[in-house]
């Protein structure tokens, strides 16, 4: 009974490490709001790249003197990269919620030339504005809770990706945005209003509110990456590369990290940089689950197929949950959560030999 009192209910953590995590998650979420959601995720890529590089080094040369095998790399990748400092469920989630809040509270902050609702601007750094940073902090803690509880109860998917999705949905509802939004075209999957550059209008023909002024009727997540054929093509390419990286290094997350780092160029305004971290990650998983059965060449092809599926899942998710409302609900996180749920179920049923990194 005494031992139970020393632990946080359900999470199985002692109170001191939990409080350390809680306080740091507050700071991590605020950090994401301060520098912007996308820049925060780029930092995730750099930190995970470092952690996975250290893990590969340790596997090649053995344990370093005075350091348990894997401890240093695990600390960098898990505790920092996917933890309270730059974990997407904390820093990125805090930045996304901050943008959703500012889209309603401070529409005048919208930068010139931004055609979407300001609540979707995950490139924007909010600096030191206290109320916006407080929103980031609250959602950083919320993301931490969702991830910890999800892991504690054995949720059969990537709980970090799931946290990113759920915090974004909660922010959308909390700040008064429609959950999905009203499609402007023939259906929720129709992106042709964007192709025609149709402006957003109000249903009763009245004046368009200030926050919607100049906004497009349909807002695809990536204007350069929404056509099914193009998404499938980059899915094949990214999946193969993610699978190859795992085959050669043993790291599932190194391809993911490289993809995340590549988004620095998107942040800096380089046109048509594809977003691929959901593709390289699930591509690596494809290689992991197929390689024990068929060997490396076929597993590389499987990685490409998994990459295609993940890319298409992300595109379908953006057409449902991103294009028609006013905030960012992350398509890659949705794709990862769905894909890993399917992998977990197939592994449980014995169809696949393992569940990847779960």
pLDDT per residue over 193-210, tens digit each? Answer: 999 888 877 544 444 455
With 90 as the cut, is the pLDDT of residue 335 above it? Answer: yes
Tokens encoding 249:
């290094």
With 90 as the cut, is the pLDDT of residue 65 above it? Answer: no
Q: Are 42 and 161 in contact (CB under 8 A)?
A: no
- φ/ψ (deg, to 5) at 85: -85, -60
With 90 as the cut, is the pLDDT of residue 173 above it? Answer: yes
> In angstroms, rounded to a whole number, what is the distance separating the alpha carbons of residues 305 and 235?
8
3-state secondary structure of 8: strand
Nearest to 70 by CA among 61, 229, 253, 316: 61
Minimum mean pLDDT range among 6-10, 83-87, 288-292, 307-311: 6-10
> In angstroms, rounded to a whole number, what is the distance separating the alpha carbons of residues 88 and 84?
9
Tokens 């979407």 belong to residue = 116
Residue 263 CB contacts under 8 Å (≥ 6 apart), including other chains: 38, 41, 42, 45, 273, 275, 277
The confidence score (pLDDT) of residue 63 equals: 58
pLDDT per residue over 248-270, tens digit each? Answer: 999 999 999 999 999 999 999 99
> In angstroms, rounded to a whole number, what is the distance separating the alpha carbons of residues 142 and 284?
29
Nearest to 242 by CA among 162, 301, 292: 301
Tokens encoding 51:
């952690």
3-state secondary structure of 14: strand
> In angstroms, rounded to a whole number, what is the distance separating the alpha carbons of residues 128 and 136?
11
> In angstroms, rounded to a whole number, what is the distance separating the alpha carbons of residues 35 and 293?
45
Nearest to 310 by CA among 288, 287, 331, 289: 331
With 60 as the cut, is the pLDDT of residue 3 above it? Answer: no
With 70 as the cut, is the pLDDT of residue 158 above it? Answer: yes
Residue 173 CB contacts under 8 Å (≥ 6 apart), including other chains: 179
- The answer to pTM > 0.85 is yes
Which residues, in sequence order, are bridge partners of residue 216? 199
With 50 as the cut, is the pLDDT of residue 353 above it? Answer: yes
The confidence score (pLDDT) of residue 200 equals: 76
Q: What is the mean pLDDT of the chain?
A: 91
The confidence score (pLDDT) of residue 197 equals: 86
Tokens 């790249």 belong to residue = 49
Question: Long-range contacts of range 188-195, CB-CB < 8 Å, 24 or more positions apart?
Answer: 188/319, 188/320, 188/324, 189/316, 189/319, 189/320, 190/218, 191/218, 191/220, 191/226, 191/319, 191/323, 192/218, 193/217, 193/218, 194/218, 194/219, 194/220, 194/223, 194/323
Nearest to 240 by CA among 302, 315, 295, 289: 302
With 70 as the cut, is the pLDDT of residue 326 above it? Answer: yes
The confidence score (pLDDT) of residue 57 equals: 83
Q: What is the percent of the chain with per-residue pLDDT over 70, rounded to a whole number?
A: 91
The confidence score (pLDDT) of residue 205 equals: 43
């Amino acid at each position: 009974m005494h031992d139970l009192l020393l632990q946080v209910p359900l999470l199985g953590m002692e109170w001191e490490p939990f409080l350390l995590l809680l306080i740091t998650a507050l700071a991590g979420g605020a950090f994401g709001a301060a520098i912007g959601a996308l820049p925060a995720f780029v930092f995730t890529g750099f930190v995970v790249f470092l952690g996975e590089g250290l893990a590969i080094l340790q596997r090649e040369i053995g344990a370093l003197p005075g350091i348990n095998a894997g401890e240093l790399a695990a600390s960098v990748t898990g505790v920092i990269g996917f933890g309270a400092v730059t974990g997407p469920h904390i820093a990125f989630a805090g930045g996304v919620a901050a943008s959703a809040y500012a889209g309603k509270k401070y529409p005048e902050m919208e930068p010139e030339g931004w055609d979407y609702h300001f609540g979707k601007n995950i490139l924007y750094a909010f600096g030191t504005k206290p109320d916006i940073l407080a929103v980031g902090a609250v959602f950083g803690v919320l993301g931490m809770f969702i991830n910890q509880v999800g892991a504690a109860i054995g949720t059969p998917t990537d709980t970090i990706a799931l946290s990113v999705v759920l915090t974004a949905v909660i922010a959308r509802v909390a700040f008064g945005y429609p959950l999905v939004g009203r499609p402007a075209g023939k259906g929720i999957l129709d992106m042709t209003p964007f192709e025609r550059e149709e402006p957003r209008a109000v249903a009763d023909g009245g004046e368009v509110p200030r926050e919607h002024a100049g906004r497009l009727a349909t807002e695809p997540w990536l204007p350069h990456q929404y056509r099914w054929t193009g998404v499938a093509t980059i899915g094949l390419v990214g999946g193969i590369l993610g699978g190859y990286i795992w085959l050669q290094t043993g790291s599932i997350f190194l391809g993911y990290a490289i993809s995340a780092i590549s988004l620095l160029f998107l942040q800096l305004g380089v046109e048509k940089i594809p977003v691929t971290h959901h593709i390289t990650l699930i591509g690596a998983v494809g290689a992991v689950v197929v390689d024990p059965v068929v060997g490396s060449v076929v597993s590389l092809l499987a990685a490409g197929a998994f990459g295609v599926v993940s890319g298409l899942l992300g595109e379908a998710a953006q057409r449902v949950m991103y294009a028609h409302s006013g905030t960012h609900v992350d398509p890659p996180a949705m794709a990862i959560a769905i894909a890993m749920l399917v992998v977990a179920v197939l592994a449980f049923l014995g169809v696949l030999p393992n569940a990847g990194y779960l």
